[in-house]
Amino acid sequence: MTLRIVLAGATGRIGRPLSAAIAAAPDLQLVAGVSRAAAGTDLGEALGGAPNGVPVFASVAEAVAVPADVVIDYTAHDVVKAATFAAVAAGLHVVVGTAGLTAKDYNEIDVAAHANAVGVLAAGNFAITAILMKRFTLEAAKYIADVELIEYCPADRRDAPSGTARELAEELAELRQPATSWPVADMVGATETRGGAFGEGRTEVRLHALRLPSFLLAVESVFGAADERLTIRHDAGESATPYIAGTLLAARKVPSWVGVQRGLEAVMG
């Protein structure tokens, strides 16, 4: 069976190599692209090559008029929620690779996905090494009570935190042990410097989002115990290569369930 793919963000940093990877896959067919800048053109030409017969639309809401099975979204934080709802309403499965959606957003999407009998897979990061960093962090949290997260992104990134850090913070808050540090509500001074909070009470996770030149994306889990510390860190490189295989795996697997699944590990062994 060939899966028909709509790729949102087709001319972006990850969309460009992902377009080529989909075209090269024998079980996948790219039937439409979404790019506001290239809307109305042929995707092959928009990517600087020969025409390939794939139309480009300005939005997912327009692109779903083309018969398809799965929408892969690598767009922007200000359009991803509406795009996901448009795809789900059209009866398409969705792979969300765009940051910016909250747990509340995904709860709303889950309701819509069940109503339309489609699957949604959302991952903050599709790189295998990032998934390992998350897995190691969650394992360490079973043994070490105190943990905080630090993420590093470029100065021009507007959303905070990244999907990678948000996803980790939300899951960590579900299983971590109570912190031994002072609750922020009981502290004095400029308490906003303690970072953003995920979860509640003594098991909330504090996340510090830095925005500085020269970074692409890095996430650190910093654990502290008596007379020892543990840091688990993932750094993303300039290339989009690490994200391609994970995204294609997600596209192949997402039609097999109904509702929202979070994290690439949902489809990994």
Label the pairing between strands 146-153 and 196-198. Answer: unpaired
Alpha helices in 151-240 (DSSP H): 163-175
Taking residues 67-87, report their average pLDDT: 97
At 49, list the tokens: 């090559």
What is residue 186's DSSP assignment? G
Q: Tens digits of per-residue pLDDT, 15-68? A: 999 999 999 999 999 999 999 999 999 999 999 999 999 999 999 999 999 999
| Nearest Cα residue to 80 out of 98, 58, 104, 103 | 98
H or E element at residue 240: none
Percent of the residues in the chain that have a pLDDT greater than 70, as a whole number? 100
C-alpha span between 221 and 149 (Å, rounded):
5
Asked if 53 and 36 touch (Cβ cutoff 8 Å), the reply is: no
C-alpha span between 119 and 77 (Å, rounded):
20
pLDDT above 90: residue 238: no
My answer on whether omega of the bond before 161 falls inside 30° of 0, hence cis, is yes
| Nearest Cα residue to 232 out of 132, 152, 164 | 132
- Residues with Cβ within 8 Å of 151's Cβ and at least 6 positions away in sequence, in order, are 161, 162, 164, 165, 207, 208, 209, 210, 217, 218, 219, 220
Report helix, strand or coil for 61.
helix
Asked if 183 and 127 touch (Cβ cutoff 8 Å), the reply is: no
Q: Tens digits of per-residue pLDDT, 107-164? A: 999 999 999 999 999 998 899 999 999 999 999 999 999 999 999 999 999 999 999 9
- The reported pLDDT for the residue numbered 269 is 67
C-alpha span between 111 and 113 (Å, rounded):
5
Q: What is the mean pLDDT of the chain?
A: 95
C-alpha span between 106 and 90 (Å, rounded):
18
Considering the entire predicted model, what is its pTM? 0.81
Give the domains, in start order, of the chain with CATH numbers: 3-126+239-266 (3.40.50.720), 128-235 (3.30.360.10)
Distances (CA, A) of 268 to 247, 250, 256, 262: 12, 9, 14, 12
